[in-house]
Each structure stands twice: as structure tokens, then as C-alpha cells.
Amino acid sequence: MDNKQIIITEKSLDLAELNHQIQSGQGEHGASVIFTGSVRIADGEHGLVAMHLEHYPGMTENELKKIVDNTKSRWDLNKTLVVHRVGRLLPGEPIVFVGVSSLHRQSAFEAAQYIMDFLKHQATFWKKEIYFKNGQNQAVWVSAKESDNKALERW
């Protein structure tokens, strides 16, 4: 298989189609793990109107490719697919999809987690949240979390 493993897109993610890409042909590889991350409806006391995702074209693809290559050298995987939205997203919409398949579940679980942990730390995306507050829309850049750095220590 040599399908595209990394996709950065402004279009809504078609989860059924992405699931199918990972899960088709289960007979050969036995286990698959799918992770999707979505825009939370409300963060804190104010309602989220939208999220804007910016990235560094070129570098983002390079960083994701490094992560996928490292993952494949660590675990014996069959399929690997990482899809990330950019642009304007609405509450509830998927931001990121990670799908992996392998012979047994252990490597699929671990590989999916490894990809997400490193994506959070290394892939050049930045989120801006738009809230409706005091009668108007206000934009806030999301701050990086210390817990995301800590998540790397287990690897």
C-alpha cells in the first residue's frame, strides 16, 4: 500500500471515509485504532463561536512525516493515516484524525498514542478560539499545555 499518509486540508473531515481507509481489509492486519479530536462546544463559561487553525505550510508536512516515519520504525504497522484540518472550524467538527492498523492491538494502540503525543508537541499548527463575550466576538490564541510536553516522557 502506498496511499497518502499525511493530509492537511481546509475541507471537513469525512470520518466514515477515513475509517474505511484504515479498516478495509481487516482480514490481513487484525487490529486498527482510530483517534479523532474535535472542537469542544464550550470551553469554560463562554460559548465558542468558531476555531481558526493556522499552520506553517511545508514544515507541518515535514514534521508529520518524521513522526509517521518514527512510528513505523518502532511498531510493525500496516496502514497509517494522519489528517489535520486548517482554516475555520465550527464547534463539534473534527480537527484531527489518526488511524493505524497492525497485526495485534497492542502496537495499534501504542502507535496511535505516540503519533498524537508528538503531533501535539511538534506539528506546526496554532489554534485561535473565537468566543462570544460581552456582546461581541473575541479571539484568543490557545496556549500550549505543559501536560502535552510531559506526555512525551513516556516514550
Partner 1 sequence: MIRIKVLFFANFRELLDCSSLSVELDESASIGDLCDRIKDKGDSWFSLFANVKSDLNSRVKIAVNQEMATLEYSLKNDDEVAFFPPVTGG
Could you say which of 12, 90, 126, 133 contacts partner 1 (CB under 8 A)? 126
Residue 37 contacts partner 1 per CB under 8 A = yes
Residue 42 contacts partner 1 per CB under 8 A = no
Rounded-to-integer distance, Cα 57 and Cα 48, Å:
26
Residue 128 contacts partner 1 per CB under 8 A = yes
Could you say which of 6, 67, 77, 116 contacts partner 1 (CB under 8 A)? 116
Residue 51 contacts partner 1 per CB under 8 A = no
Shortest reach from residue 58's CB to partner 1, in Å: 5
Q: Which is nearer to partner 1, 61 or 103 (CB)?
A: 61
Strands (E), the chain: 6-9, 31-38, 42-43, 46-55, 77-85, 87-89, 94-102, 125-133, 136-141
Whether the Cβ atoms of residue 85 and residue 91 lie closer than 8 Å to each other: no
Q: Which is nearer to partner 1, 22 or 53 (CB)?
A: 53
15-47 burial, b at 16+ Cβ within 10 Å, e below that, comes to: eeebbebbeeeeeebebbbbbeebbeeeeeeee
Residue 119 contacts partner 1 per CB under 8 A = yes
Shortest reach from residue 1's CB to partner 1, in Å: 25
Interacting stretch for partner 1, rule CB under 8 A, among 18-26, 70-78, 105-113, 115-123? Answer: 115-123
Interacting stretch for partner 1, rule CB under 8 A, among 9-17, 18-26, 105-113, 138-146? Answer: 138-146
Rounded-to-integer distance, Cα 51 and Cα 88, Å:
6
Rounded-to-integer distance, Cα 48 and Cα 131, Å:
5
